[in-house]
C-alpha cells in the first residue's frame, strides 16, 4: 500500500514472455532480437525508426547499436515482481508489448496468441492478487478465429481486457470489418487498452532524425498515432455503433485531450460534412465520448499533460502506469526505483494534490473499480 493506505496499481506495464522472445530470436525482419559482437546483451529491435541503425550496425561493428538492450526486465516474472516491490506498486495489470501478434502469418496467429495469453494467465496465477492481465488478439487470423480468441480470454480468470494496436485488421480502427470484433470485446465486458506501435512515417523526422535517437518517434510519433486512430474511430461513428465499448488510451490519450476542441471546431466548420447531414444537432461530441467511453492512463510524466487529461475525461477515468520495462534509468541502478515511474507518480501529486482523494483514485482505486481487481 502507498503511504495513503490505498493500493497503487500499474495498468501500463508490459512483458514479452520467454516463448515470444524465442520467436523474435528466429526472425530477421523487425521485430527481432539480435546479438552483436560489440555487446554482451542482445538487442531488441522493434520500431521502423530503428531499421536504419540496424542496417548500419550489421555492416559496421563499431557503429551505434540499434534498438534497446534486452534485459531480464522484458521477460522475467521475478523481475516484474521485483520492479513492483522496489517502486511501491501493489498490483500490476500486465500486457504483451508491441507489436503483439501483428506480424504473424494468418495461419499461425491464433495458436500462438492462445498459448501466449495462457502464459500471461499462468503468471497471474503465480501471484494471485498482485497480477492481472490484458490479453492480445491474433488480428491477422480470420475473423472467426479472432472471435474464438475473445471467447478464450474472456474465460481466463485474471484477464481484464485486450491490448490493441492501431492497425486493426490492417486498415485501421475505423474499418467497418472491425465492428463485430469491437462488439464482441465489449459484450465480453473486456476493456480495450489502445497502444501505439507504428508511429508516424520516418520521413517526418527529417534526414537528421537518426541523430535524435528515440526521442521523436516515442515522444511524438506514438502519441500522434493514438490520437489519429481514435479520431478516425470517432469520425466513423464507432463509439455510437458500439455503445458499450470502453477504451483505455495509452500515454494519456496521445494529444486527444489537448486537441479535442480543435477536432470539434473542424467538424462543425466542415461545409461538406454539415451539408451532407453528417453533423446532426444531437450528435455525441468528442467531449462526450471522452467522458463516457474513454479512460486515460497517467503515463505522461508531467502535471501539465495530466491536467488536460483530467479536464477532458475526469479524474475518475485516469489510471496510473509506468510503461515498465521501457524507459529504464540510464545512470542509476536498474534494480532500484525507476525515475520514469517516479515522474508519473509525482505528476499525479502535482496535478491533484498529494494525499488527495483524486490522487488515491488515479494511483489505484480507479483501476480497482473499473477493472474489478479482486483476487478471487
Ligand atoms: O522504447 C520503446 O520503443 C517503447 C515501445 O516500443 N513500446 C512501449 O510501450 N514503450 C516504449
Q: Is residue 44 within 6 Å of ligand 1 at its C-beta? A: no
> Which tens digits make up the pLDDT trace of 233-288?
999 999 999 999 999 999 999 999 999 999 999 999 999 999 999 999 999 999 99
Counting atoms of ligand 1 from 1, which one is nearest the CA of 217? 3
pTM assigned to the model: 0.97
- Residue nearest (by alpha carbon) to ligand 1 atom 8: 326
Q: What is the ipTM of this complex?
A: 0.95
**Residue located via cell numbers 486493426:** 168
Q: Does residue 22 have a cis peptide bond before it, meaning omega lies within 30 degrees of 0?
A: no
Lowest mean pLDDT among 3-7, 238-242, 297-301, 343-347: 3-7
Residue of 24, 196, 218, 226 with the most ligand 1 atoms within 8 Å of its CB, for mutation: 218
Residue 1: per-residue pLDDT: 61
pLDDT reported for residue 137: 98
* Ligand 1 in reach of 97 Cβ (< 6 A): yes
How far does residue 106's CA lie from ligand 1's centre (Å)?
25
**Pocket lining: 326 vs ligand 1, CB cutoff 6 Å:** yes
Please give the mean pLDDT across all residues of the chain: 97
**Range 217-238 average pLDDT:** 98
Q: How high is the pLDDT of residue 65?
A: 95
Residue 34, C-alpha cell as written in the block: 539480435
Strand partners, 33: 44
Report the percent of the chain where pLDDT is more than 90. Answer: 97
Ligand 1 pocket mutation, candidates 326, 328, 329, 340, criterion most atoms within 8 A of CB: 326
pLDDT confidence tier of residue 4, bands split at 50, 70 and 90: confident
Crossing angle of helices 179-187 and 143-154, in 10° steps, is 10
Banded pLDDT at 38 (limits 50, 70, 90): confident
Find out whether the beta carbon of 30 lies less than 6 Å from any atom of ligand 1: no
Residue 145: CB within 6 Å of ligand 1?
no
Q: Which residue's C-alpha comes closest to atom 2 of ligand 1?
A: 326
pLDDT of amino acid 3? 66
Distance from the alpha carbon of residue 157 to the mean position of ligand 1, in angstroms = 27
Ligand 1 pocket member 181 (CB < 6 A): no
Mean pLDDT of 205-223: 96
Q: How far is the CA of 196 from the centre of ligand 1 (A)?
A: 9
- In ligand 1, which atom is closest to the CA atom of 14? 9
Q: Is pLDDT of 29 > 80?
A: yes
Segment 40-69 shows an average pLDDT of 94
Over residues 80-129, the pLDDT tens digits come to 999 999 999 999 999 999 999 999 999 999 999 999 999 999 999 999 99
CB of residue 45 inside a 6 A radius of ligand 1: no
Going by the DSSP 8-state scheme, the letter that residue 324 receives in this structure is B
> Over 80: is that where the pLDDT of 2 sits?
no
State residue 374's pLDDT score. Answer: 86
How far is C-alpha 318 from the chain's CA centre? 14
pLDDT of residue 329: 97
Amino acid at each position: 500500500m502507498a503511504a495513503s493506505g490505498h493500493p497503487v496499481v500499474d495498468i501500463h506495464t508490459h512483458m514479452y514472455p520467454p516463448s515470444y522472445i524465442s520467436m523474435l530470436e528466429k526472425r530477421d525482419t523487425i521485430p527481432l532480437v539480435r546479438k552483436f559482437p560489440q555487446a554482451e546483451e542482445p538487442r531488441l529491435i522493434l520500431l521502423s525508426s530503428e531499421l536504419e541503425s540496424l542496417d548500419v550496425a550489421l555492416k559496421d561493428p563499431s557503429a551505434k547499436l540499434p534498438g534497446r538492450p534486452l534485459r531480464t526486465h522484458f521477460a522475467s516474472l521475478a523481475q516484474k515482481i521485483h520492479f513492483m516491490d522496489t517502486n511501491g506498486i501493489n498490483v500490476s495489470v500486465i500486457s504483451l508489448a508491441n507489436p503483439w501478434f501483428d506480424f504473424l502469418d494468418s495461419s499461425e496467429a491464433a495458436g500462438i496468441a492462445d498459448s501466449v495469453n495462457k502464459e500471461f494467465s499462468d503468471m497471474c496465477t503465480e501471484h494471485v492478487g498482485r497480477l492481472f492481465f490484458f490479453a492480445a488478439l491474433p488480428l491477422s487470423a480470420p475473423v472467426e478465429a479472432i472471435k474464438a480468441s475473445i471467447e478464450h480470454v474472456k474465460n481466463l480468470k485474471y484477464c481484464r481486457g485486450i491490448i490493441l494496436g492501431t492497425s486493426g485488421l490492417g486498415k485501421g480502427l475505423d474499418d467497418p470489418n472491425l465492428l463485430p470484433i469491437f462488439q464482441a470485446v465489449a459484450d465480453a465486458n473486456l476493456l480495450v487498452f489502445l497502444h501505439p506501435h507504428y508511429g508516424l512515417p520516418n520521413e517526418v523526422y527529417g534526414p537528421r532524425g537518426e541523430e535524435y535517437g528515440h526521442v521523436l518517434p516515442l515522444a511524438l510519433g506514438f502519441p500522434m498515432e493514438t490520437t489519429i486512430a481514435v479520431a478516425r474511430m470517432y469520425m466513423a461513428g464507432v463509439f455510437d455503433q458500439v455503445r458499450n465499448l470502453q477504451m483505455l488510451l495509452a500515454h494519456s490519450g496521445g494529444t486527444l485531450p489537448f486537441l479535442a476542441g480543435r477536432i470539434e471546431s473542424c467538424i462543425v466548420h466542415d461545409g461538406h460534412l454539415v451539408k451532407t447531414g453528417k453533423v446532426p444537432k444531437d450528435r455525441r461530441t468528442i467531449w462526450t465520448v471522452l467522458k463516457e467511453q474513454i479512460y486515460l492512463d497517467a503515463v505522461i510524466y508531467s502535471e501539465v499533460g495530466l491536467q488536460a487529461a483530467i479536464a477532458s475525461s475526469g479524474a475518475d477515468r485516469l489510471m496510473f502506469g509506468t510503461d515498465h520495462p521501457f524507459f529504464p534509468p540510464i545512470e542509476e541502478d536498474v534494480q532500484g526505483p525507476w525515475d520514469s515511474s517516479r515522474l508519473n507518480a509525482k505528476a499525479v501529486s502535482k496535478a491533484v494534490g498529494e494525499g488527495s482523494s483524486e490522487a488515491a483514485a488515479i494511483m489505484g482505486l480507479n483501476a480497482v473499480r473499473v477493472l474489478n481487481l479482486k483476487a478471487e
